Structure 1
Amino acid sequence: MAPTIASVDKLAAWLDTQELGTGAPLESRYISGGSQNEIYELRRGDLHCAMRIPPMTAPADRDNGIVREWRIIEALDGTDVPHTEAIAVCTDPSVLGRTFYLMGFVDGWSPMDTLGKWPPPFDTDVRERRGLAYQLVEGAALLSKVDWRAKGLQDLGRPDGFHERQVDRWTGFLERIKGRELPGFDEAAAWLRTHRPIDYIPGIMHGDYQFANVMFRHGAPARLAAIVDWEMGTVGDPKLDLGWVMQSWPEDTNSGAGSVGDYVDMTGMPSRSEVLKHYADVSGRQVDDIDYYCVLAQWKLAVILEQGYQRANGDPKLEAFGPVILDLMRGAAELAEESDYQR
């Protein structure tokens, strides 16, 4: 059974205080959710939006995470980054028991909702898939250009020393949750300690940027509708979002290779080189150090997923991470060994 909103009457009363659909009946529909957040579609008069709220069972600090997400989508208003409109935020627990925010409802589709298959016309016209790839990486490029200081996000993250902290931070994290050996971890970590980006320009980063966390407009040509799910958003190095996308992007997309998790069909998409060039053209950033970001992305993602795997407790979805994590860590070590990037 889908979750329901704790108190529709209290939510309607709060909406009145915000002058959102005042006095009209409130309709709600559960869209999706997990241990971290639930999403509902709300309709009330001329209001049509989505609500993002932690479930009652989520840790208390998830409320702070909701505020962080809100600050990011609010900061994106007025930029050319595809995003959900920031409508309102509520930190008063007397309304629904948790902090929540309202964002514009996006009429679009996510690759995660199509069960691994592209919707029409991308299912049959593989040439149109090129646009999906370019739009995905263009979203990350546009995000990297946002003036985060002007948007009041100086305290959102700790950009100073970002790369110097990465290995120690995630090594310590793994030690706290460690339940098995991850072959390749030490080799990739050692490589990351002795390599750094050519240049580091701080900015807003999504933290989990991939096809799973964007939405597209319906129909062709491909148009990015919104970047979503900002749970890992911060101010750091935006080019790590590029590394997240490119970590397993093949040069030959018609070879049958897929992205991490193999949840998208890469056939017909532009090559790795073409996608990197598009990011560089839009962002104005160089991509000669992409190997560093791909090693860091694979290594870090493996550690993050390992936490879920260690807590699986019989959950088949989390247990399925087991071999994926080993492949990611092995891939990070192999790329580090094979790369000729020296900085």
Structure 2
Amino acid sequence: MRTIPDGVEVVASWDRVRRLESPPLLVLDAVTAFLDEQGVGGGPLAWQRIGDGHSNVTYLIERGGESVVLRRGPRPPLPKSTHDMVREARIQKVLHGHGIPVPEIIAVCEDESVLGVPFYLMERLDGTVITDTIPAHLSSVEQRRATSEAVVDALVSLHSIDVAEGELASLGSPDGYLGRQVERFRGLWEVNTTRSLPAVEWIADWLARNLPASQAASVVHGDYRMGNLMFAPQAPARILAILDWEMATLGDPLADLGYVTATYSESGTLATPLELTPVTLAPGYLTRRQLAERYQSRMGLDLTPLPWYQTLALWKAAIFCEAIHTRWRRGERPNDTVFGPSLEVGVPRLLEMAAQYAGLTAAPRA
């Protein structure tokens, strides 16, 4: 944990900001005042950035023997209707009432004068997020399988919630979800890129021409993968929390299944920048096909159109990764020396894999 500002990402007070080329992500005296208002801890605070941090930013904050997690959007300006921390916190509050494992929301700050963007505080959970290292307590062949099964079972629980009534119904209309996704992300490409990649448009055309009929309506997480799940710190494999609800809405549940299977690391397939939990390359974990079969056995949906959803997942991933790449090129991610630069070739690779799922080997004719 750090207590001294680095002067770039974290500053002591707003009067230091005018010396910076870009706004900071954490202003310690402003956060301290907000913690005082909420009755969280006392005295000076310590901070540590946690999580992937490729889109929104998350910090562990310790103060006076208490620990909380602060989550905020990236540096402004932000694309319209993205990085909505107030909505993200509200979704988690509602889902908590339905028994979905999510962190408890402690406080929400809508006042942009505090940090420049809205943010929220949530409880700190003692758990494990699995990425490139297999936790010792989940390393046996049996627990590797159980880990994969838990990924599917938590998704089934989320998709089994009745969204026709109550507060969840206010999250949006599931009708027309797939068409809206295609058109929304098609529009985001031009505002997020500085280069020409024709595959974006011709995959968009293919998606629009081949829209499947949605078989059900559910809460859609939007970024459902193992790296957004926190597991309990002891066996057996059990999910403590589903994290990162920024893209959640009501829509077609197979969108989540398409995403988790398309971004799941598996031996013998071309890796993409979205395969952020490479441990599943090891023996014992379920394959993509086995994930889908377990889901289908519990949800009873026809998975024949699953390749369409996998195409959608990787095409969308290419577009939001391009936004990260563009911010990196503009110098807005000064501490990013790996992920941002990797997207120069990573985004085209995502588009290549999306085209493979669609069965496209060349730009389709008009």
Q: 1:104 to 1:188 in 2, by over 3 A?
A: same
TM alignment of 1:59-98, pairs within 5 A: 59=77, 65-92=84-111, 98=117
Corresponding residue for 2:226? 211
RMSD: 3.2
Greater RCO structure (CA 8 Å; 6+ sep): 1
Match of 1:328 in 2: 350
Distance 2:165 2:60 in 1: 31
Matched, 1:32 2:49: yes
DSSP-derived class of the 2:230 partner: strand
User: Could you tell me which of 84, 97, 108 is aligned with 2:127?
Assistant: 108
Does 1:127 pair with 2:142? yes
Q: Determine the structure 1 residue equivalent to 2:285.
A: 269
Aligned residue number for residue 180 of structure 2: 165
Quick check: 1:153 aligned with 2:176? no
Contact 1:73–1:84 (Cα < 8 Å) also in 2? yes
Where does the alignment leave 5 or more consecutive residues of structure 2 unmatched?
Answer: 1-5, 11-25, 362-366
Q: What amino acid maps onto 1:11 in structure 2?
A: F
Partner Cα distance (2:192, 2:248) in 1: 23
2:321 maps to 1:305: yes
Q: Which amino acid aligns with 2:350?
A: L
Moved more, 299-308 or 190-199: 190-199
TM-score by length of 1: 0.80
For residues 64 and 270 of structure 1, what CA distance do their matches in structure 2 show? Answer: 32
Offset of 1:254 from its aligned partner? 5.7
User: Cα offset for 1:301?
Assistant: 0.8
Q: TM-score, normalization: structure 2?
A: 0.76
1:189 maps to what in 2? 204
1:117 maps to 133
- Contact 2:156/2:299 (8 A) holds in 1: yes
Give how far 1:248 is off: 4.8
Residue pair 2:264, 2:277 contacting (<8 A) in 1 also = no
Aligned residue type for 1:39: Y
Letter in 1 for 2:29: A
Cα distance in structure 2, aligned partners of 1:232 and 1:254:
29
> In 1, distance between residues paired with 2:206 and 2:115?
47
Aligned CA distance change for structure 1 residues 54 and 164 (closer, same or farther; 3 Å)? closer
Q: 1:151–1:108: structure 2 CA closer, same or farther, 3 Å change rule?
A: farther
Give secondary structure in 1 for the equivalent of 2:125: coil
Partner SS, residue 312 of structure 1:
helix
Residues 287-302 of structure 1: matches in 2 within 5 Å? 287-302=303-318
Cα gap change, 1:119 to 1:324, in 2 (>3 Å): same
Q: What's 1:225 paired with? A: 240
User: How far apart are residue 288 of structure 1 and its match?
Assistant: 2.8
Helix, strand or coil at the partner of 1:103 = strand
- Structure 1 segments unaligned to the other structure (5+ residues): none
